[in-house]
């Protein structure tokens, strides 16, 4: 009888294990993963257009920081929370607060990113335009990303068309995160993003400040640093982030589930399984890339 302990290698190659996680479910999972120690890239449907949900906010943040760098916006600008900001908003806590609160643009970006607060998203996005954010994405190389609205419509059905929402690709989101990471040590990389080195550092720290711990971090050891942004869509859940090990970036993972059923055959909500699927993908990377 073989009593040798099971290892990552004995369970199959990394691509086999990643695809097994996806194949176990009836919905679509697209991903783009980069082992930052070896440079290896693993992907599945990485160039296929997919709903972005709130993963779009990382590019909104970077477009806003470009405007700050150019002097068109000021992170210290004071913004008054008006009642209209809470209309048609289904995420975050600001919608439950009393209008009249004053916060800075810096704080609005924080709320948009670390709690995905769409009142804060409105505050930020109203200082930009759809054309400006789209042009920014195209200019840095995110050719598969298309921003189509300020805030997603609440009345969308689970089978909505792609053109009803902002869309992106897993590869685009990995490229953006890699660019932000590169900009920590490279002035040239910061310039390609259209921001200063200081603003690049701020952007990465804001991603690290994320307080929602589902999906990518969910199966990792407690306290693991993950710089990430998740998303909640009518068709699925998504998450894009950089995972650290011992203070150093270990891997980038961008994962998007799509056509997720409202309820699985056993009665479990589909969104629960979609988030767990992303968590399992992340755990495969954690185990294999640290081996």
Please report, in tens digits, the pLDDT of each residue of the chain (291 residues total): 444 344 455 579 999 999 999 999 999 999 999 999 999 999 999 999 999 999 999 999 999 999 999 999 999 999 999 999 999 888 899 999 999 999 999 999 999 999 999 999 999 999 999 999 999 999 999 999 999 987 777 777 888 889 889 999 999 999 999 999 999 999 999 999 999 999 999 999 999 999 999 999 999 999 999 999 999 999 999 999 999 999 999 999 999 999 999 999 999 999 999 999 999 999 999 999 998
Separation CA 109–CA 64 (nearest Å): 9
CB 63 within 8 A of CB 133: yes
pLDDT tens-digit series, residues 179-223 = 999 999 999 999 999 999 999 999 999 999 999 999 999 999 999
Three-state SS for 63?
helix
CB 212 within 8 A of CB 116: yes
Would you state the pLDDT for residue 152? 73
Question: Which percentage of the chain shows pLDDT scores above 90?
Answer: 89
Would you state the pLDDT for residue 154? 75
Question: Which CATH superfamily is 19-53+144-290 part of?
Answer: DD-peptidase/beta-lactamase superfamily (3.40.710.10)
Would you state the pLDDT for residue 158? 84
User: Where are the domains positioned within the chain?
Assistant: 19-53+144-290
Q: List, as own/partner pairs, every contact residues 24-28 make where C-beta atoms lie below 8 angstroms and the sequence separation is at least 24, other chains included.
A: 24/277, 25/273, 25/274, 25/277, 26/261, 27/236, 27/257, 27/258, 27/259, 27/260, 27/261, 27/270, 27/274, 28/236, 28/257, 28/258, 28/259
Would you state the pLDDT for residue 6? 40
HSE-CB at 195 with a 13 A cutoff on CA atoms is 27
* DSSP β-bridge partners for residue 169: none
Q: Which residue do the tokens 């906010």 mark?
A: 57
CB 61 within 8 A of CB 206: yes
Helix axes 130-140, 57-69, angle to 10 degrees: 90
Would you state the pLDDT for residue 73? 98
Would you state the pLDDT for residue 155? 73
Would you state the pLDDT for residue 10? 54
């Amino acid at each position: 009888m073989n009593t040798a302990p099971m290892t990552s290698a004995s369970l199959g190659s990394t691509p086999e294990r990643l695809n097994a996680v996806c194949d176990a479910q009836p919905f679509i999972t697209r991903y783009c993963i980069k082992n930052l120690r070896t440079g290896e890239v693993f992907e599945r449907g990485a160039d296929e257009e997919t709903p972005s949900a709130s993963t779009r906010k990382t590019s909104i943040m970077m477009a806003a920081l470009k405007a700050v760098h150019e002097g068109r916006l000021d992170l210290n600008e004071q913004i008054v929370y008006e009642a209209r900001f809470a209309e048609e908003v289904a995420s975050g806590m600001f919608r439950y607060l009393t209008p009249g609160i004053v916060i800075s643009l810096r704080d609005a970006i924080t709320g948009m990113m670390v709690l995905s607060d769409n009142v804060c998203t409105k505050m930020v996005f109203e200082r930009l335009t759809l054309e400006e954010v789209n042009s920014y994405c195209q200019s840095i190389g995110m050719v598969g990303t298309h921003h189509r609205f300020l805030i997603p419509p609440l009345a969308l059905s689970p089978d909505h068309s792609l053109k009803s929402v902002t869309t992106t690709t897993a590869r685009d989101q990995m490229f953006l995160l890699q660019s932000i990471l590169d900009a920590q040590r490279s002035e040239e990389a910061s310039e390609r993003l259209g921001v200063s080195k200081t603003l690049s550092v701020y952007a990465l720290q804001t991603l690290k400040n994320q307080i929602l711990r589902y999906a990518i971090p969910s199966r990792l050891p407690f306290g693991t640093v993950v710089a990430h942004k998740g998303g909640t869509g009518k068709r699925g859940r998504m998450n894009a982030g950089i995972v650290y090990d011992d203070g150093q970036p270990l891997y980038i993972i961008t994962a998007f589930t799509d056509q997720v059923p409202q309820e699985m055959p056993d009665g479990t909500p589909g969104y629960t399984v979609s988030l767990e699927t992303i968590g399992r993908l992340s755990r495969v990377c954690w185990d294999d890339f640290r081996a």
